[in-house]
Chain A
Amino acid sequence: MTKKQKQKLVQFIVAIIIALGAFIYEGYEKLLNNNVDIQIKEQIDNYDNKLQVHFIDVGQGDAILLVSPSKHTMLIDAGDNDDEETIVNYIKNQGIGKLDYVVGTHPHADHIGGLDNVIRQLDIGDFYMPKIVHTTKTFESVINEAIKKDIKIKTAKAGVEILLDEDIRVSMFSPNESKYKELNDYSPIMKVTYKDTSFLFTGDAESEEEEEVINAGYDISANVLKVGHHGSSSSTSQEFLNKVNPSIAVIQVGKDNKYNHPHEETMKKLQDKGIEILRTDINGDIIILSDGKTLYKKVSK
């Protein structure tokens, strides 16, 4: 073997080692993130036997409706005060008169503003909120409506498990018992798992709470992430995003809002990871369906 041939052989072996290393590392990353590669389809043929997740366009604010294959329902937040008709109409248009579960993530008006009207106009099953006081008339009105309808409130906190259907698990990873400086951090970070697919809902949880959930060791990996706090830079830390490792990120945000949501830093983090971004200010109502293996998406704009 000539010197040149030897050199080439060494180069070849080194290249193989590098390629093998990269391959193993990629596999290891995937194993770590525990995410199955999920197929995403544009077409929604029918809603039968699918978990429906509706991100309702309420401008600046959150409102998410879940409908299981057995037609069990959960509403996570109800937008702002002026969105209450939009939400109730949207729910009724789905042929739904009863919400089996309602979650108010935290007492800010852009999340619980429409809840009083929802409680007034629809049948409510279990009602979850973090046990934290707020002084606004908007929050008081929600409590008053619950009193009027004789509905007791369950504490939204880490460890709560709900079965929407037998095979659809809702797990709350936060808040824990601590006192938080920001009302936002009382938002339950919750994962909904249906067979191979999963969704992570975050309310307005900020980096402090994201870190707490990571440190608690929960498996937060999910195919779809509801981006925290309307894409504010105070949420979606790089570590959190890496651990969730979603294929789709949904941002519930109002057009031309005064807070510049979503913030550029958050958008860049999502774009750098090649995550598909859906936004209510651009896409309108966003519906993602899961048959347990494949995700299907539909937007109104």
Chain B
Amino acid sequence: MRVIIDRFEGEVVVVELEQGVFIQVNKKIFPPEVKEGDIVSINIEKEETEERSKHIQKLMDDMWED
């Protein structure tokens, strides 16, 4: 998914999702060097999600009473 940075309003970033559809998000979610007009891609890291899920699962092992 790709989004476009329309503008900054203080700490709020106005992001264009598609023609005429905008959301407001906190600036902290973007790399600090982000600028107005930048196109930002949002990807799901499937492998990393899987790995992390396994890691937490391992931590959980033997932690439940039942």
Q: Which residue of B lies closest to A113 (CB)?
A: B20
* B7 contacts across to A, CB distance below 8 A: 108-110, 183-184
- Compute how far the CA of A258 lies from the CA of B9 in the bound complex, rounded to whole angstroms: 9
Asked if A134 lies at the interface with its beta carbon under 8 angstroms from chain B, I say: yes
* A113 contacts across to B, CB distance below 8 A: 20
- Compute how far the CA of A259 lies from the CA of B12 in the bound complex, rounded to whole angstroms: 7
Tell whether A108 pairs with B6 under 8 Å between CB atoms, given A113-B20, A134-B36, A258-B24. Answer: yes
- Give B58 Cβ to nearest chain A Cβ, in Å: 41
- Compute how far the CA of A134 lies from the CA of B20 in the bound complex, rounded to whole angstroms: 15
By secondary structure, the B interface counts as strand
Asked if B39 lies at the interface with its beta carbon under 8 angstroms from chain A, I say: yes
* A258 contacts across to B, CB distance below 8 A: 9, 12, 24
Interface 1/0 per residue, A116-143 and B, CB below 8 Å: 0000000000000000011111100100
* A261 contacts across to B, CB distance below 8 A: 9
- Compute how far the CA of A23 lies from the CA of B35 in the bound complex, rounded to whole angstroms: 51
Interface 1/0 per residue, B5-32 and A, CB below 8 Å: 0110110101010111010100000000
Q: Which residue of B lies closest to A132 (CB)?
A: B37
Asked if A81 lies at the interface with its beta carbon under 8 angstroms from chain B, I say: yes
Tell whether A135 pairs with B4 under 8 Å between CB atoms, given A109-B14, A258-B9, A259-B12. Answer: yes
Q: Which residue of B lies closest to A84 (CB)?
A: B20
- Compute how far the CA of A170 lies from the CA of B60 in the bound complex, rounded to whole angstroms: 71
Inter-chain CB contacts under 8 Å: number: 51
Tell me how many residues of A have a C-beta within 8 Å of chain B.
22
Asked if A82 lies at the interface with its beta carbon under 8 angstroms from chain B, I say: yes
* B16 contacts across to A, CB distance below 8 A: 109, 136-138
Contact B4 A136 (CB under 8 A): yes
- Compute how far the CA of A110 lies from the CA of B22 in the bound complex, rounded to whole angstroms: 11
Contact B6 A136 (CB under 8 A): yes
- Compute how far the CA of A298 lies from the CA of B39 in the bound complex, rounded to whole angstroms: 43
- Compute how far the CA of A261 lies from the CA of B12 in the bound complex, rounded to whole angstroms: 12
Tell whether A81 pairs with B39 under 8 Å between CB atoms, given A108-B7, A109-B6, A259-B10. Answer: no
Contact A109 B22 (CB under 8 A): yes
- Identify 8 new A-B residue pairs, CB closer than 8 A, beyond the known A109-B6, A261-B9: A81-B19, A109-B14, A110-B7, A113-B20, A137-B16, A137-B19, A183-B37, A259-B10
Q: Which positions in B face A, CB cutoff 8 Å?
A: 4, 6-7, 9-10, 12, 14, 16, 18-20, 22, 24, 36-39
The 9 A-B pairs with the shortest beta carbon distances in the complex, nearest first, are A81-B20, A259-B9, A137-B19, A135-B37, A108-B7, A136-B16, A109-B6, A136-B4, A258-B24
